[in-house]
Amino acid sequence: MSLEDQIAIITGAGRGIGFTIARKFAQHGAHVVIGELVDERGQEAAEALRAQGYSAQALQLDVTQPASCRAVSEKVMAEYGRIDLLVNNAGLFQLYKSEEMPEESWRLQVDVMLNGVFFMTQAVARTAMIPQKRGVIVNIASIGGMGGWPMRSAYNAAKAGVIVLSEVLATEWAQYHIRVNCVSPGVTRTDMMDSLIKQGAVQLEKYNNRTPLGRVAEPDEIANAVLFLASERASFITGENLRVDGGWVPYANLHALGFPEESSARQEES
């Protein structure tokens, strides 16, 4: 799946899933631009990729600020004359009971993970993809955007919004040959997840047990799905939301009804 000479912007790629996507794209021949709020983190990530022989740079970016999104898009356009790929990955995660959710937390989560996806996408589309009549956008949503999880009202609402936003943009911009898709990861073993585990906020064993495939995802497994959607192999796929969740979402109803034995019964039959 070659991305040879493609110019790719990946937001929030200073660490975690975004960094793994950037490395994967670079391994497949793309020049990657890491758009990162924490500039030092972005610069270190780009340096790490260059040290491995890949083509990478970092630009400071706050996706919640349309001016920042425009500035990054225009800088990349000025340097390369096109932007082929955009991955909207920047995110954050704050747990609150809805009745206790502080206004700032609601606004921040929706701002980064819904408004930010729109502002960055709009900037790249206006600056590059619509004029060049070509482009691929992959938005990182979440299985959280497909159902009710207590304590995650802002996060899940923002991610659900991203899934529908992707469908709208896919239909609006098909005329410009711009494909827009989502990848919805299940629980993924990132630094953020490890720190939640250390704090005792997340019990890994429970997530493993809840997943039909018996474990959480590795960042590389998410990046593989993003690579597929970004590549020509997905040339007729747009408006899709690809779950990469080890079977978590389809298992939801069985679990809620309290039939964990169903999965072992199915295994015995097969």
Active site residues: 155
CA separation for the pair 9, 74 (Å, rounded): 12
C-beta neighbour count of 261 within 10 angstroms: 9
Beta strands in the chain (DSSP E): 7-11, 31-36, 56-60, 85-88, 135-140, 178-185, 241-244
- Cβ proximity to ligand NAD, 108 vs 177, nearer residue: 108
- Cβ proximity to ligand NAD, 101 vs 134, nearer residue: 101
CA separation for the pair 219, 189 (Å, rounded): 7
Q: What is the DSSP string of 224-249?
A: HHHHHHHSGGGTT--S-EEEESTTTT
CA separation for the pair 115, 124 (Å, rounded): 14
Shortest Å distance, C-beta 162 to ligand NAD: 9
The residues with which 140 forms a beta bridge, in sequence order, are: 183
Shortest Å distance, C-beta 1 to ligand NAD: 21
Sheet with strand 178-185: strands edge to edge: 56-60, 31-36, 7-11, 85-88, 135-140, 178-185, 241-244
The Cα-based distances of 231 to 85, 178, 226 in angstroms read 9, 13, 9
CA separation for the pair 254, 108 (Å, rounded): 34
The Cα-based distances of 34 to 43, 52, 137, 151 in angstroms read 8, 16, 15, 30
Q: CB nearest ligand NAD: which residue?
A: 16
- Cβ proximity to ligand NAD, 15 vs 31, nearer residue: 15
- Cβ proximity to ligand NAD, 127 vs 188, nearer residue: 188
**Rule CB under 6 A: which residues touch ligand NAD?**
11-12, 14-18, 36-38, 41, 61-64, 89-92, 112, 116, 140, 142, 185, 187-188, 190-193
Residue of 245, 228, 223, 224 whose CA lies nearest to 179: 228
Shortest Å distance, C-beta 242 to ligand NAD: 12
Shortest Å distance, C-beta 123 to ligand NAD: 13
Shortest Å distance, C-beta 205 to ligand NAD: 15
- Cβ proximity to ligand NAD, 16 vs 246, nearer residue: 16
Shortest Å distance, C-beta 216 to ligand NAD: 7
Assigned token pair, 119: 């502002």
- Cβ proximity to ligand NAD, 14 vs 161, nearer residue: 14
